[in-house]
């Protein structure tokens, strides 16, 4: 007879415990299974690695547990930074829905109700996009300047090649940010690294998000 696999042995142990009616033993076995799985995969996820990525992924995991993954990331960034939001949330917290006798919302419940307001939603998405682009444009500019000072740029043979993965990613992020503010803004069709380089150089410092431009105002969306 062939030796049973580890999975089969675990299943047999669980079946024996269930048939014996030992709830405590079954719970203990489940705890062991969870611990073994955690030990097996620990260190394989980016959230397990020390550094900035760990902090980012752990913060994101809290949003998932709170059932907030459906919220647009630009909207969420705007909601966390716009000065009007604390007042809006306070107003929503005191407004009991008509179909309930008791209203004790958590912050995600209030976010969901705030997200339903069209003018406020467009304003907060614009605010989030504005803050994201300001935060990112320094990195875009540094990447462009670093490349222009490199030996690869001086050679010129790179210009006709297809855009690199980093260029493509930068273009996608810049386009998404600008489209959040200007809905009809479309991604460019760029076939060479030179064209991608020039586009990034121009749009990384897009006038709409220039350093001397003030953040969006809610009254501009509530007309």
Same domain, 213 and 103: yes
Same domain, 80 and 21: no
pLDDT at 10: 62
Same domain, 12 and 96: no
The pLDDT tens digits of the residues spanning 95-150 come to 766 555 555 678 888 999 999 999 999 999 999 988 888 887 777 777 777 777 77
- Angstrom distance (rounded) from CA 22 to CA 16: 9
The number of domains in the chain is 2
The pLDDT tens digits of the residues spanning 139-196 come to 777 777 777 777 777 767 788 889 888 888 888 888 888 888 777 777 788 999 889 8
Same domain, 205 and 103: yes
Same domain, 34 and 115: no
Same domain, 21 and 101: no
Same domain, 89 and 191: yes
Flag whether 51 is in a domain.
Answer: no
Same domain, 118 and 30: no
Same domain, 89 and 147: yes
Flag whether 213 is in a domain.
Answer: yes
- Angstrom distance (rounded) from CA 52 to CA 46: 10
The pLDDT tens digits of the residues spanning 50-62 come to 677 788 888 888 8
| pLDDT bracket for residue 201 (50, 70, 90) | confident
Flag whether 170 is in a domain.
Answer: yes
- Angstrom distance (rounded) from CA 111 to CA 88: 10
Same domain, 90 and 168: yes
Identify the domain containing residue 38 by its residue range: 6-42
**67: alpha, beta or left, given left = phi > 0 and alpha = psi -120 to 50?**
left
Same domain, 24 and 130: no
> What is the Cα gyration radius of the chain?
26
Highest mean pLDDT among 41-50, 69-78, 103-112, 196-205: 69-78
- Angstrom distance (rounded) from CA 46 to CA 50: 9
Flag whether 47 is in a domain.
Answer: no
Flag whether 54 is in a domain.
Answer: no
Flag whether 60 is in a domain.
Answer: no
């Amino acid at each position: 007879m062939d030796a049973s696999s580890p999975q089969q042995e675990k299943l047999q142990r669980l079946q024996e415990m269930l048939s014996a009616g030992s709830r405590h033993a079954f719970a203990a076995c489940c705890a062991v299974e969870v611990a073994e799985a955690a030990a097996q995969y620990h260190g394989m996820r980016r959230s397990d690695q020390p550094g900035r990525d760990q902090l980012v992924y752990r913060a994101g995991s809290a949003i998932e547990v709170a059932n907030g993954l459906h919220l647009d990331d630009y909207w969420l960034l705007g909601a966390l930074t716009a000065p009007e939001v604390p007042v809006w949330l306070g107003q929503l917290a005191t407004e009991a829905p008509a179909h309930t006798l008791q209203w004790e919302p958590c912050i995600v419940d209030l976010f969901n109700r705030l997200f339903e307001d069209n003018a406020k939603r467009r304003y907060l998405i614009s605010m989030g996009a504005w803050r994201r682009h300001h935060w990112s444009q320094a990195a875009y500019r540094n990447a462009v300047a670093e490349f222009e000072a490199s030996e690869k740029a001086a050679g010129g043979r790179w210009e006709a090649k297809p855009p690199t993965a980093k260029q493509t990613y930068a273009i996608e992020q810049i386009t998404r940010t600008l489209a959040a503010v200007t809905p009809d803004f479309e991604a460019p069709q760029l076939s060479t690294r030179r064209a991608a380089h020039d586009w990034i150089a121009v749009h990384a410092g897009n006038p709409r998000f220039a350093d001397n431009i003030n953040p969006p105002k809610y009254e501009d969306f509530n007309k």
